[in-house]
Amino acid sequence: MSKALLEVEDLWVRFASKKRVVEAVRGISFSVGRERVGIVGESGSGKSMTGRSILRLIRHPGQVEAKKIHFDGQDLQALSEKEMRDVRGHKISLVMQDPKFSLNPVMKVGDQISEAYRVHTNASKTEAKERSIEMLNAVQIRNPERVYDSYPHEVSGGMGQRIMIAMMLIPEPDLLIADEPTSALDVTVQRRVLQIMDKLVQERGMGLIFISHDLNLVASFCDRVIIMYGGRIVETCRADELQNAKHPYTRGLLNALPDIHKPKDQLSVLERDPKWIEDPSVDAFL
Amino acid sequence: MPSSNNTMLKQEPIALDIQHLNVYFGEGHEKFRAVKDVSISVAAGGSYGLVGESGSGKSTVLRAVSGLVPSWDGTVAVNGEPISKKREMSYCRTIQMVFQDPYASLHPRHSIDRTLSEPLRLHKFDNIDDRVNQALVDVGLGRSFRFRYPHQLSGGQRQRVAIARALMLEPDILLLDEPTSALDVSVQAEILNLLSDIRKTRQLTYILVTHDLAVVAHMCDEIAVMSHGEIVEVMDVETMRDSKPQHEYTRELLEASEGYQPEA
């Protein structure tokens, strides 16, 4: 059993309005070591909120509450906002889903990547540029010099996503939270991006939280899977055993997928059981 | 280059015949050929899949056929009749499109009622009231959704509205541009089932654009693979299932659909 990099206990994320309180994440506990952990679930299951709450990126009126959020022995909840800024990017970095909203539209792509590097290292401008172009190359951007001098609106969605990934990986974080990092990418590029992340986990011992709705991908890419529904963890298992998952929700998701090799007339539709919402959350420790 | 040498049995008449389609963007030196000499023919009642990576021109083919991109040449014939550059009203009735993103393709300030009844009014249909109600029932939403706005609906419900809108004018051909890529798998299953049922009951012809091979294998009989604006391979679904595609890009797509394989 490897030592846990991130430990989260009893995490709640609530959004209070005048009329009612919406609970996006409801008391989940999990830990992540130097491994690839997949979090799967549908939209609204709280998987993205989980990723964001670790980095304290939930905005008002959202409230995060947890018994424990420890990263590498450090209590993240006790840190000041200034200290938190040092954690973000340098130690834990987050690749967000949509490059359209996550890149600064009035700043050149290259400047954004170099900035990410220079904030956390003492590198010179030229050195940062070299590293940035190297990184753009690594995420398979043809013509990285041209892209370096482009604005976000001048690149395609898939390229934007790769730029984000380059930006997040350049400070060499210990933990990468990737929120649907490849869903906008073509299969060939997707594979390349996964290989880059895989390499970082294997060689540098980076931890990875891979948030996705693609069950096949998570099953083949990750070491462990956490399945979320209605803000709770309904099941957790080894990724290679996902096909034998027991919870009816996981089974329903698996059955809803069309399969190239097993043609059927009708896809089975997920029947939701209200009991799933009420069931206690399953702990997903290492 | 493989073109329309379809090996399928063709007792059915051809619903949509595209020959040597080229689509251009830009002018002068900047002129770019986004679709190069694409030929496709789809039998009435058939379901044809177009797959390829982003930028391969697959959506552009649909947009040219539906009249959203004017700068094309080649011939497009619907039910045997070649279409002119200027679309007739009757043409719009025979061919309709469902777009990729249900969050962007419905007017946010128009009620579902207005979205669905507008095409009927333009085409001077009668019984608009009944038709809107029936359309909502047909796509599994029910009448209660009629006076809601898109922001009050989930992604799957919005896509049902988009499908209902496409069906309002009783078209023969539906062009589906990644109809489920923005949806969760459980909702995707519902929408794909709905599309299959509608095709059966109304004898529609589909062209489905997607990058998900499993979806294409589920929905289509015949599949064309596009890369860099050209069709690089045409195959039937059995060939794909047996993993016998010829072209390297198709094999790559197939491999990727099996999940992640670490670098060898």
pLDDT tens for each residue of A30-43 = 999 999 999 998 88
Q: B187 to chain A: which residues are within 8 Å by CB? A: 42
Please report whether residue B221 resides in a domain.
yes
Residue with tokens 């697959």: B58
B256 to A188: CB separation less than 8 angstroms, yes or no: yes
Q: Is residue B252 part of a domain?
A: yes
- Which CA distances in Å does B208 have to B40, B68, B195, B200, B220? 13, 17, 11, 16, 8
Task: With a cut of 70, list the residues of chain B below it in pLDDT.
Answer: 1-11, 263-264
- CA-nearest of A30, A35, A33 to A46 is A30
- Residue B264 in domain: no
Most confident region among A193-207, A271-285, B46-60, B115-129 by mean pLDDT: B115-129
The token pair that represents B263 in the structure block: 């670098």
Across chain A, mean pLDDT equals: 90
Which among B186, B215, B254 has the least Cβ separation from residue A253? Answer: B186
**pLDDT at A77 > cutoff 90:** yes
- C-alpha–C-alpha distance, residues B122 and B93, integer Å: 11
Tell me whether strands B47-52 and B205-210 are parallel, antiparallel or unpaired. Answer: parallel
Mutate to test the interface with A, among B54, B185, B228 (most CBs of A within 10 A): B185
How many C-beta atoms surround the C-beta of residue B130 within 10 A?
A: 9
Encoding tokens for residue B264? 């060898």
Specify the CATH architecture of the domain A1-91+173-286: 3-Layer(aba) Sandwich (3.40)
Q: How confident is the model at residue B1, as a pLDDT?
A: 43
* ipTM score assigned to the predicted complex: 0.80
Helical spans, DSSP H, in B44-147: 58-66, 89-94, 112-122, 128-138
Encoded tokens for A205? 């011992």
pLDDT grade, residue A2 (50/70/90)? low
Q: What is the domain range of residue B164?
A: 14-257
Q: How close A194 gets to chain B, by Cα (Å)? A: 8
Residue B3 counted as domain residue: no
pLDDT in tens, B137-192: 999 898 999 999 999 998 889 999 999 999 999 999 999 999 988 788 888 999 99
Residue B37, in any domain of the structure: yes
Task: Give how far A82 is from chain B: nearest CA, Å.
Answer: 37
- What is the distance between the alpha carbons of residues A138 and A140, in angstroms, rounded to a whole number? 5
Question: What domain count does chain B have?
Answer: 1
- Please state the φ and ψ torsions of residue A61, each to the nearest 5 degrees: -90, 15
**Which residue is closest to B253 within chain A, CA to CA?**
A187
CATH code of the domain containing B91: 3.40.50.300
* Range 126-165 of A in CB contact (< 8 A) with B: 156-158
On whether the CB atoms of residues B63 and B207 are closer than 8 A, the answer is no
- Nearest CB neighbour to A260, from listed B186, B193, B217: B217
Q: Tell whether B158 is covered by a domain.
A: yes
Any domain includes B263 = no
Chain B residues with CB-CB distance to A43 below 8 A? 155, 184
Among residues 26-55 of chain A, which lie with CB inside 8 Å of chain B? 42-43
Residue spans of the domains in chain A: they are 1-91+173-286, 98-172
Q: Which two tokens stand for residue B229?
A: 């604006």
* Residue A122: per-residue pLDDT: 87
Q: Which residue has the tokens 């904030």?
A: A119
Closest-CA residue in chain A for B242? A261
Does B185 touch chain A if contact means CB atoms closer than 8 Å?
yes
What integer pLDDT is reported at residue B253 of this predicted model? 81
- Which of B247, B260, B263 to probe by mutation at the A interface, max A CB count within 10 Å? B260
